[in-house]
Amino acid sequence: MRAVIQRVGRASVVADGRQAGSIGHGLMVLFGVETADGPGVDAAEVEWLARKIAQMRIFADEAGLTNLSVGDVGGDILVVSQFTLFAKTKKGNRPSFIDAARPVLAIPYYEAFVKKLSEETGREIPTGIFGADMKIDMEADGPFTIIIDTRNKE
């Protein structure tokens, strides 16, 4: 699994022409599943990723230091599925998405991740609509962007 976390002043997603989810101050999370994540949701990996994001200290405290989590600042999280996070660009100019998990594998991971993130934060997690054509509007804060990959825990 891979997540791109963007600190935002606000974010919203429109899917198939209708508002699917929106937040104010918080985190925009693009979430992708790789074929190598395998069948059957790896609950330990989902939990690790959700906890990491919920507890990540990337918001400023009163001294201006990044010491606060999204929960500490009362922020929200918007999650959008993003198979293109596993694009391969080595050959030619057209990306290959061969490593991105197909919906039958990815949807259970996506749903488990959103559920676990909600449990970790104690808040409802607005989302896009899996597989839909989506338009995202966001106000980057910082900008502050972090990429986390469960296969390369750096």
State the residue range of the domain holding 60. 2-149
- Total domain count for the chain? 1
Comparing CA positions, the residue from 133, 79, 81 lying closest to residue 102 is 81
6, 31, 59, 82: the active-site residue:
82
pLDDT in tens, 6-50: 999 999 999 988 999 999 999 999 999 999 998 888 999 999 999
CATH of the domain at 134: 3.50.80.10
pTM above 0.95, yes or no: no
Q: Is 19 a catalytic residue?
A: no
83, 86, 121, 150: the active-site residue:
83
Using the Cα atoms of residue 9, residue 7, residue 105 and residue 84 in order, give the sign of their dihedral.
positive
Q: Is 84 a catalytic residue?
A: yes
Locate the DSSP E strands across the chain: 2-15, 18-23, 26-32, 59-60, 66-68, 76-81, 134-149
| Residue 154 belongs to some domain of the structure | no
Higher pLDDT, 90 or 115: 115
- The four Cα atoms 61, 64, 69, 70 give a dihedral, to 10 degrees, of 100
19, 84, 97, 145: the active-site residue:
84
Q: Is 86 a catalytic residue?
A: no
